[in-house]
Structure 1
Amino acid sequence: MRLLIIDDDQALSRFLRRELKIQQYTADNAYDGEAALDLLRRESYDLMILDLNLPGMDGLDLLQQTRAIDPNLPVLVLTARSRKEDLVQALERGADDCLVKPFSFQELQARIRSLLRRKSVAAGPVGVSGVSGVVPKLSNLVIHTDERRVTRGDRKIDLTPREFALLEHLMKNAGKPVSRMTLMREVWNAPFDPSTNVVDVYMKYLRDKIDRDEERKLIRTVRGVGYVFGEE
């Protein structure tokens, strides 16, 4: 697995690269946004670790440009900004997970494994129905798991690994209300934290992509419960 570490703290970057190498990862370092974009355009990565406080180009701007280059690259944001608003903004710009500094290397490892596992599941050869390649469609929505591709009618829908995992879980439970607590446990591998709205943020992303300009909406909010996926 090849990782890209983007942090202007060169001592920390070298430490992470060294420790990740011990864990059998290959890692490249970039210390600013322009260097990172150059690597992203030339190389292929399995995951990106991004610090938001970069010289020159802000980490959030880099995150947005990264999504234009590779919409499916898992991105783990490192930040000293602990305000909930900053973390939500990072998620809204396309981050898959956030880790607040200071952090333990063990926690970083766990977050990396979780994101890579989600990416592997999203790209896996067997759909939620157990049929290789294609999940049976719901309305005109189809998940092609071999190609990690989602279509609705003639429209191709680009999803991040986290969004894909969320859609897959909703599809498994089509027609049944799914709580925010369940989604945090099954999609994020984390206990539910009532102080965060990360589930709602990602459901908004998914709804914007799945139901945009569609007469028949597939994602509905069940007040006080969570969400239902399916036609009314």
Structure 2
Amino acid sequence: MKKIFLLEDDYSLNETIRFMLNKNGFIVDSFYNGEKAFEHILGEYSLYILDINVPNIDGLTILEKIKTTNPNSKVIIISANIDIDKITQAYEKDCDDYIKKPFDIEEFRLKIRKITNSFDIIQLDSNVSFNMKNRILYENNQEITLTKSEKILLYLLLNNKGEMITHHQIEEFVYLGVAKTSTAIRTLIKRVRQKLPKDTILNILDEGYYIK
């Protein structure tokens, strides 16, 4: 089941969006406070929905952190703010859509569905595929066992296909910010490589890893 991260400080709107998403089969982690949200942004979310003007830490700061850790994360900004500078900043920080309040909840649902359905199955070769929604690796339609860390790492690499993922990003996304030695990360990479077609995960010495 797909997970969505929601930051909206208006209690009524937060509840309305969360109810709509739950009704449509999504799991929702919702927050009303920017600081609390910032503490929990590292996760396997199909989509982030962020209001800009929230208490303590604003949505644009959180957007920047999300995109630094996992560049291809999908983020929708919702805001009553019509300041063109704020809108420009949101797009410069690589948000995927900007929706001005008030908005029609049904139109919003369709936008969310379009983004979250944009990818589910990624084919690694003719026999091997990875289900991004369920985090399951298949070979000839048989599930290949992955540990939780292996699933998260593979998701991170495939979600950022063609882009280098650094050791720091792996620490942030896979291990939720817990520092790991280079040896530990290399060991994790090695385990995942052994379950994938040859040369699926490539590396740039002392910089990071990527999937073409």
TM-score using structure 1 length = 0.52
Q: Which has the higher contact order (CA 8 A, sep 6+)?
A: 2
1:93 equivalent in structure 2: 93
The 3 A distance-change label for structure 1 pair 150 and 21 is same
Deviations 1:25-47 (A, max 9, x none): 11111112221122223x42111
2:72 equivalent in structure 1: 72
| SS of match in other structure, 2:6 | strand
| SS of match in other structure, 1:78 | strand
1:147 equivalent in structure 2: 158
Does structure 1 retain, via aligned residues, the 8 Å contact 2:38–2:57? no
1:213 equivalent in structure 2: none
2:12 equivalent in structure 1: 11
Partners of 1:132 and 1:26 in 2: how far apart? 28
Deviation at 1:100, TM superposition (A): 0.6
1:212 equivalent in structure 2: none
Amino acid at match of 2:158: E
How many residues were matched structurally? 137
Deviation at 1:124, TM superposition (A): 2.6
| SS of match in other structure, 1:36 | helix
| SS of match in other structure, 1:112 | helix
Deviation at 1:132, TM superposition (A): 8.0
Does structure 2 retain, via aligned residues, the 8 Å contact 1:7–1:13? yes
The answer as to 2:122 corresponding to 1:124 is: yes
Q: Where does structure 1 lack aligned partners over 5 or more consecutive residues?
A: 134-145, 159-232
Partners of 1:126 and 1:67 in 2: how far apart? 24
Aligned structure 1 segments of 4 or more residues deviating by more than 4 angstroms: 130-133
Amino acid at match of 2:3: R
Does structure 1 retain, via aligned residues, the 8 Å contact 2:48–2:75? yes
Deviations 1:11-30 (A, max 9, x none): 21112111211111111111
1:170 equivalent in structure 2: none
Q: Where does structure 2 lack aligned partners over 5 or more consecutive residues?
A: 130-156, 167-212
